[in-house]
Amino acid sequence: MASIYTRRLPARWIRLIVLHPGSGPDPIEFHFNETRIDDPPPFQALSYVWGDPTFCCVSHCSGNSVSITQSLFDALRHFRLPDAELTIWADAVCINQADMEERGEQVQLMREIYSRAAGVVVWLGPDAEGHA
């Protein structure tokens, strides 16, 4: 499986998910927009329950398959728009978790990421009946 990360982010840069339109069972597809934190495009910051850390669900980033957790998969499916792209920041994917140097630098920016977001969306998971 090819890596979805093409490079380590420069200092004070972030990766944003540009979530492609879709609904219901449509696949989760996105691409990245790398941008300076000082002047980002409008985006939503996603705060969500990580839940089971097992990577069980497949999504697609610029044509490459990537496994994500059920909780993130459900959140992206819930918040995506049916007819327009949505720009969103989610730590588990926007930060290369396997790159300890990038991860350390990005964690230092998290307060600023949330404060510069146009809004913060929260995903606590589906209700007891499995509805969002």
**Domains of the chain by residue range:** 18-123
Cα–Cα distance, 22 to 26 (Å, whole number): 6
Quickly tell me which residue has 């609904």 as its tokens.
23
Determine which of 1-5, 42-46, 91-95, 118-122 has the lowest per-residue pLDDT on average.
1-5
Quickly tell me which residue has 């809004």 as its tokens.
119
| Average pLDDT of the residues in 12-18 | 98
pLDDT at 1: 44
pLDDT at 44: 98
Tell me the longest C-alpha to C-alpha distance in the chain.
44
pLDDT at residue 73 is higher than 50? yes
101 burial via Cβ count (<10 Å: 0-12, 13-18, 19+): exposed
pLDDT at 132: 55
pLDDT at 2: 60
Give just the sign of the alpha carbon dihedral 103, 105, 106, 107: positive
pLDDT at 128: 64
Of the candidates 49, 71, 48, 70, the one whose C-alpha atom is nearest the C-alpha of residue 120 is 48
pLDDT at residue 88 is higher than 80? yes
Cα–Cα distance, 87 to 42 (Å, whole number): 7
pTM of the shown model:
0.90
